[in-house]
Structure 1
């Protein structure tokens, strides 16, 4: 696939890695922590989508916070740029170096220790290179629940999740990644270490510094450790797949589901029939839970930490009664409730397969946007019309976390159209979608961040005051612009 770097390249530091600096790096991280050959560096400098391939003088893989600090201090002394990277699963190019990058790519993958699990205090202290799914499983072993859940959870790392303020399918109930954090440890651009690893729910001693670094995409510092919040493990879960009348009905269903479930709605995912069909074409082993004559579906999950007891009404019984009421009201046209873990998992595999299926389907465009929940139906109607007016043969497949107002407004190119031809329409479609989002008081990036891909879009849509504040913070912490330069902001 062709490279997709913006034509307007930001100014980034280009200090080279001299032989002396390389020797110093090797002394810090050892031979196993330094990759210098082009073949070995290729997986690190190529983004997960295969769209961007950047450059690097070396890949450095420290094994501890002390080593990160020494590496960053060395780079700071010599003006060498640093691109931090976790699992390299981002969708905006935030962890991919620009082609002109001559500095290092700092991978946190070796820093994967769980230091402490406190089931009584509902907290876990971990290193940034821990894979998200490993942390979910560790919490589960202590009868606790880490709610951050993403399609890439088998390979993404918690440091990257926090640096991008990742979202996922549980935001409706538990919030974004920043809401799951009690404390952080961060290596600053000059190599100093800020130790904010406090497992406190109340700490009102000045600025809440941890929030500076979550969502900053590694431009202000490198997250090396985190204290994460945990919750009681769910004991009673019910997953349902609904054919719904339209997006307005989906929102009405969600609104009534909160009370009907006794405030136990965990996830609410809207899916178009076109998206489901695409996923079924490309993801092996998944089954269509419900083939109904409607363009819209809802994946709805309720969960409770209270185990169901014999003779009592559990989530399944509550869901059955709720769906019967919704069928009678005409909002739900048909429904299937997962009767086993396998059936429920199949429903989730469909939702989680969207990204992989879209890559297999061919050239496309995707917009990670958010608007107020009540405005989603209007946005879908107006957005589809605006895009189809530009390219009538484009194939829409919207889906998303409508419970938190986040829609992945996605399109596949017309059948037979290659990426180069589709690119001729991209600018006009992007402007139409983002103008509409902005006019409705929404955000052009709900959960995927800015990275490289939305660098110019951010500067177009955020106010001068907002941009000035962000640049002031960036210059204060990183005056040399060595920390993930050319991402999020042009400075």
Structure 2
């Protein structure tokens, strides 16, 4: 079906449905994305107050054949939140739907609307002595609808899982305006196809998530955070294995960082306190969340004592206070911002089987070195196999000149990931950035089924056209 741009008559119809407060100016923030790869277009921004208004707006768009772009916090890194071309869309913002409907410490459940900011959910859970464990660098801006729409990961996937693993039920509005009432708080519910998991990770291409029931956890009684120098990624994996053998699932996070991370911070964000100087080749950040009765410092000390004996670690710093733990995490969380300020040739959000990670890092580094004098900043969530393997120009090199070679760098990296049984999209999604990659590396049967699902649920193709699947 041919889609139709938003026009004045359609906007007037929307105003009747949501009132003047529901119509927002098309500001620049709705048309930009963090990496500046694209700029978007927009015919109107609508901010409904509740699921009933979302339903009415979606029904109107479906009738008119107007494309709809669901919009959360705008923090996505693959371009799913903007449309760079095509008919001017209706940008459907969740910014007014910010109610935290329920936080239940007995059920360990929070029921929240899609516009709730992630950090606000953290605070609401903590006020009840509970933890919503999904955490991102963009937690102060990212909204729950977008977190679920992209199946976001973050730093605690090792212990708690992705956004999908932390969701019990959803309320969503389908392309024709019908409301999917799936806001269950049940842990077991085998009543047919799991439409919740179909909507999660669909990046706004199948409907609009308006609310969710989310899993909470008790706050660990003790927290231990440390930074350690390791001789190699292989040693880091051995250290992870050692830690899990000693404390099991109490390992909440395990992050790998190359020395380039600290050098980039020194160059662009010198106010960030760096734990090691000079920067070692490889470091890890480990966080333990322990039950009552286990002392974090003593537990980490026991792990590191054995790690030193096995030559898995050459230096280690254990946080002596909550503020020092925050300083360690600030180092990790500011790496993406330092990368942005440097300017990458090509960035890669990839995952591999854990046993393949050291070999990938070695092979990829040798391959990139053969392609030119690039700088590589490799960091990420080692515990769940997710690396951010980013390639940068040599120091002093012209970014535009080197970026012209970025397509070849990206394909070489992604080809290697695919050969080593990995994924070229670990936690950021497909969006618009990786549509070609999905077609290149995706299983043909999977793609055929995905297109069939899209056609069945969104027969007019109004939902985020061009994201995930080619329009």
After TM superposition, the score normalised by the length of structure 2 is 0.97
Give the C-alpha shift of residue 292 in structure 1: 5.7
Equivalent position to 1:216, from 198, 202, 209: 202
Q: Give the match for residue 75 of structure 1.
A: 61
Contact 1:290–1:336, Cα closer than 8 Å, also in 2: no
Deviations 1:86-115 (A, max 9, x none): 000000001111233412111111111000
Question: Is residue 475 from structure 1 mapped to residue 455 from structure 2 by the alignment?
Answer: yes
Deviations 1:109-167 (A, max 9, x none): 11110001111000010000000000011000000010001000010001100000000
Alignment of 1:24-103 (within 5 A): 24-36=13-25, 40-103=26-89
CA RMSD of aligned residues (A): 1.4
Q: Give the match for residue 167 of structure 1.
A: 153
Contact 2:105–2:130, Cα closer than 8 Å, also in 1: yes
In structure 2, C-alpha distance between the alignment counterparts of 1:338 and 1:45, rounded to whole Å: 41
In structure 2, C-alpha distance between the alignment counterparts of 1:339 and 1:13, rounded to whole Å: 61
Contact 1:17–1:57, Cα closer than 8 Å, also in 2: yes
Give the C-alpha shift of residue 284 in structure 1: 5.2
CA 1:447/1:291 → structure 2, altered by over 3 Å: closer, same or farther? same
Equivalent position to 1:348, from 306, 329, 345: 329
| SS of aligned partner of 2:239 | helix
Alignment of 1:39-438 (within 5 A): 40-283=26-269, 285-291=271-277, 294-304=280-290, 306-308=291-293, 313-390=294-371, 392-438=372-418
Contact 1:57–1:104, Cα closer than 8 Å, also in 2: yes
> Which stretch has the larger CA shift, 21-30 or 242-251?
21-30
Deviations 1:356-388 (A, max 9, x none): 111112343210000001110000011111222
Q: Give the match for residue 465 of structure 2.
A: 485
Contact 1:26–1:33, Cα closer than 8 Å, also in 2: yes
After TM superposition, the score normalised by the length of structure 1 is 0.93
In structure 1, C-alpha distance between the alignment counterparts of 2:34 and 2:257, rounded to whole Å: 24
Q: Give the match for residue 439 of structure 2.
A: 459
In structure 2, C-alpha distance between the alignment counterparts of 1:16 and 1:371, rounded to whole Å: 42
| SS of aligned partner of 1:397 | strand
Give the C-alpha shift of residue 287 in structure 1: 1.2
Query: Which stretches in structure 1 are left out of the alignment for 5+ residues?
Result: 1-11
Query: Which stretches in structure 2 are left out of the alignment for 5+ residues?
Result: none
Q: Give the match for residue 7 of structure 1.
A: none
In structure 2, C-alpha distance between the alignment counterparts of 1:189 and 1:488, rounded to whole Å: 16
In structure 1, C-alpha distance between the alignment counterparts of 2:345 and 2:276, rounded to whole Å: 26
Give the C-alpha shift of residue 293 in structure 1: 6.4
In structure 1, C-alpha distance between the alignment counterparts of 2:450 and 2:263, rounded to whole Å: 42
In structure 2, C-alpha distance between the alignment counterparts of 1:42 and 1:147, rounded to whole Å: 32
CA 1:32/1:50 → structure 2, altered by over 3 Å: closer, same or farther? farther
Aligned pairs, how many? 471
Deviations 1:39-90 (A, max 9, x none): x421101112233111111111111111111111000000000010100000
In structure 1, C-alpha distance between the alignment counterparts of 2:134 and 2:270, rounded to whole Å: 25
In structure 2, C-alpha distance between the alignment counterparts of 1:415 and 1:102, rounded to whole Å: 41
